[in-house]
Amino acid sequence: MPEKKSKGGVLFVVEKVVNWCLVCVRILVEYLNVKIEVFKITVNRYRIRRRRFGLRMALICGVINFENQI
């Protein structure tokens, strides 16, 4: 969680740097979530066998990882 300033207070430089680093990581995570949601398996209700959900998610993540390496 990012550091918040109190009412009438200010954030120190270290707290601002930490908040900036958290924002950078959060942007990357949200970007990958959007790439995963392109596959409708995560957006819609999963109605097929639950045993294979993990396998399918692993395959989707593998495809996305392969795409990001190139």
> pLDDT by residue (tens digit) across 20-38?
999 999 998 898 888 888 8
Query: Distance (Å, rounded) from C-alpha 62 to C-alpha 70?
Result: 13
Record the tokens describing residue 18, joined without a space: 């930490």
pLDDT at 70 > cutoff 60: no
pTM comes to: 0.62
List the alpha helices (DSSP H) in 1-70.
13-37, 53-69
**pLDDT of residue 4 exceeding 60:** yes
